[in-house]
């Protein structure tokens, strides 16, 4: 910057001002400075600026896996919302491992992000402490924790599945199985399974049809293997609710390989409204948790928290929506539209 200042015949402070849009600098001077900077191949050093200004323009975010379209959508919503205001997302993934999350959070906090977004509401005690003491906005997503660390943008995975089961039971299904959600590491998966169990108990139905999916995230292939196990062990099952659309699609293919008609012989439902759900034959009955919306709302919330528009933590409830498909037929009941997409109420105070 000193070099640029010299070349432009001004002080480095003027260069600093010229390089930012906000400050008041004579237009000619600014032009000369920008020209000099370009000529010299000067590249601004954000590290030094961050140290001095105590603003890094970093927002940290952790997701369980980068190879998952749902979380990728959330990251997109988040990044797009924040990039517009000059923030850079510092992303890390935890491999669905809370210990790994702890390491990652600790490392990310060293970079002095101005806010941090984490996935899920369950963390190690140390992670919670680190986050709580970081002195920056914390947003937990994809869940509705009982004791939020700070803000939340999410939904209850258990409630979403429970509501789905309610619909299926009302439609006459009785012998319903749940595929996946057995791995403790995937807390959202276990929550969905819990919602299934709760719903079945509520309706007085047998909830013993539980099929393990393996290590998270359950791939299509594992979904197929689990479906094979189910068909061998409990062939009279009427409906399989899967922990995700990927597992559901794998399950669907297993039926196709065996020549079983879906949904006639056995119905299948998923979770996540992944692309595959809308294009497979048949399409998948699933639940849309609005992943992109989660990211967008988190970004919005963070911006508000940082500029003082929003004071104190907020709980933003996302309303997952059932998307009927061909893999598990439901009589249409509610004529619901996309509640969250544009209209849903913002930050209904606390839970």
List residues binding its own copies (CB under 8 A).
41, 43-48, 50-51, 56, 66-67, 69, 72-73, 75-76, 79, 88-93, 106-107, 109-112, 129-130, 133-134, 219-221, 224, 246, 249-250, 253, 256-257, 275-276, 278-281
Q: Which is nearer to its own copies, 134 or 200 (CB)?
A: 134
Count CA within 13 A, CB hemisphere, residue 203.
23
Least CB distance to DNA at residue 18 (A): 7
Give the tokens for residue 24: 């008041």
Closest C-alpha to 94, from 137, 142, 133, 147: 142
- Residues within window 174-233 making contact with DNA, judged by CB under 7 A: none
Residue 325: DSSP 8-state: B
285: β partners: 269
Q: Which is nearer to its own copies, 115 or 144 (CB)?
A: 115
Q: Which is nearer to its own copies, 161 or 248 (CB)?
A: 248
Least CB distance to DNA at residue 105 (A): 17
Q: Which does residue 111 bind out of DNA, its own copies, none, counting CB within 5 to 8 angstroms by kind?
A: its own copies
Closest C-alpha to 65, from 194, 225, 183, 224: 183
**Which residue is listed with tokens 């590249």?**
43
Distances (CA, A) of 129 to 111, 124, 274: 17, 9, 34
Question: Which residue from 21, 54, 281, 343 is in contact with DNA, where contact means CB under 7 A?
Answer: 54
Return d(Cα 295, Cα 91) in angstroms, integer: 13
Is 108 an interacting residue with respect to DNA (CB under 7 A)? no
Least CB distance to its own copies at residue 94 (A): 12
Question: By three-state DSSP, how is residue 322 classified?
Answer: strand
Is 306 an interacting residue with respect to DNA (CB under 7 A)? no
What region does 105 belong to: left with phi over 0, alpha with psi -120 to 50, or beta?
alpha
Question: By three-state DSSP, how is residue 282 classified?
Answer: coil
- Stretch 2-41: interaction string toward DNA, x if CB under 7 A: x-------xxxxx-xx-xx--xxxxx-xx-----------
Interface residues toward DNA, by CB under 7 A = 1-2, 10-14, 16-17, 19-20, 23-27, 29-30, 42, 44-45, 48-49, 51-55
């Amino acid at each position: 910057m000193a070099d640029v200042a010299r070349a432009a015949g001004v002080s480095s402070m003027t260069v600093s001002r010229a390089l930012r849009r906000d400050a008041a600098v004579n237009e000619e001077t600014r032009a000369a400075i920008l020209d000099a900077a370009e000529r010299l191949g000067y590249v601004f050093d954000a590290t030094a600026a961050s140290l001095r200004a105590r603003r890094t323009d970093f927002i940290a975010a952790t997701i369980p896996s980068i190879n998952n379209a749902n979380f990728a959508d959330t990251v997109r919503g988040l990044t797009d919302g924040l990039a517009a205001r000059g923030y850079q997302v510092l992303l890390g993934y935890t491999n669905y491992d809370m210990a790994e999350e702890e390491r990652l959070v600790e490392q990310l906090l060293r970079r002095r992000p101005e806010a941090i977004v984490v996935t899920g509401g369950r963390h190690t005690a140390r992670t919670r402490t680190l986050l709580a003491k970081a002195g920056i906005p914390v947003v937990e997503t994809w869940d509705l924790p009982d004791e939020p660390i700070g803000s939340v943008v999410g939904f209850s995975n258990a409630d979403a599945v429970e509501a789905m089961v309610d619909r299926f039971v009302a439609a006459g299904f009785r012998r319903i199985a749940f595929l996946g959600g057995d791995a403790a590491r995937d807390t959202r998966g276990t929550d969905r399974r819990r919602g299934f169990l709760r719903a079945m108990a509520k309706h007085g139905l047998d909830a013993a049809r539980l099929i393990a999916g393996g290590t998270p995230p359950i791939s299509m292939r594992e979904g197929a293997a689990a479906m094979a196990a189910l068909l061998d062990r409990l062939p009279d099952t009427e409906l399989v609710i899967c922990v995700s659309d990927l597992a559901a699609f794998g399950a669907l293919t297993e039926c196709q390989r065996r020549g079983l008609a879906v949904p006639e012989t056995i119905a299948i439902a998923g979770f996540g409204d992944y692309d595959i759900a809308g294009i497979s034959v048949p399409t998948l009955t699933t639940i849309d948790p609005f992943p992109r919306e989660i990211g967008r709302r988190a970004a919005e919330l963070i911006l508000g928290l940082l500029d003082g528009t929003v004071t104190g933590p907020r709980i933003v409830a996302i309303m997952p929506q059932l998307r009927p498909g061909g893999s598990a037929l439901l009589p249409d009941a509610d004529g619901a539209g996309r509640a969250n997409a544009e209209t849903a109420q913002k930050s209904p105070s606390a839970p």
